[in-house]
Chain A
Amino acid sequence: AQSVTQPDIHITVSEGASLELRCNYSYGATPYLFWYVQSPGQGLQLLLKYFSGDTLVQGIKGFEAEFKRSQSSFNLRKPSVHWSDAAEYFCAAGSGGGADGLTFGKGTHLIIQP
Chain B
Amino acid sequence: EAGVAQSPRYKIIEKRQSVAFWCNPISGHATLYWYQQILGQGPKLLIQFQNNGVVDDSQLPKDRFSAERLKGVDSTLKIQPAKLEDSAVYLCASSLAWELRGYTFGSGTRLTVV
Contacts and interface: CB of A to CB of B under 8 A. Distances in A.
Chain B interface size, as a band, is 20 to 34
A90 interface: yes
A36 B101 CA distance: 13
Consensus secondary structure, chain B interface: loop
Chain A interface size, as a band, is 20 to 34
A49 B101 CA distance: 8
Interface string A68-112: 000000000000000000000010100001111111111100000
A99 B42 contact: no
A34 B41 CA distance: 16
B102 A49 contact: yes
B99 A42 contact: no
A44 interface: yes
B14 interface: no
A107 B31 contact: no
B24 interface: no
B69 to A, nearest CB: 15
B2 to A, nearest CB: 14
B54 to A, nearest CB: 12
Nearest to A96: B98
Interface in A1-47: 4, 32, 34, 36, 41-46
Interface of B: 4, 31, 33, 40-45, 48, 55-56, 91, 93, 95-108
Given A4-B42, A43-B108, A98-B95, 13 more contacts: A36-B105, A41-B107, A43-B91, A44-B105, A46-B101, A49-B100, A97-B98, A98-B101, A98-B102, A99-B97, A100-B55, A102-B103, A106-B42
Nearest 8 interchain pairs by C-beta: A104-B42, A101-B45, A43-B105, A44-B105, A43-B107, A46-B102, A97-B98, A98-B100
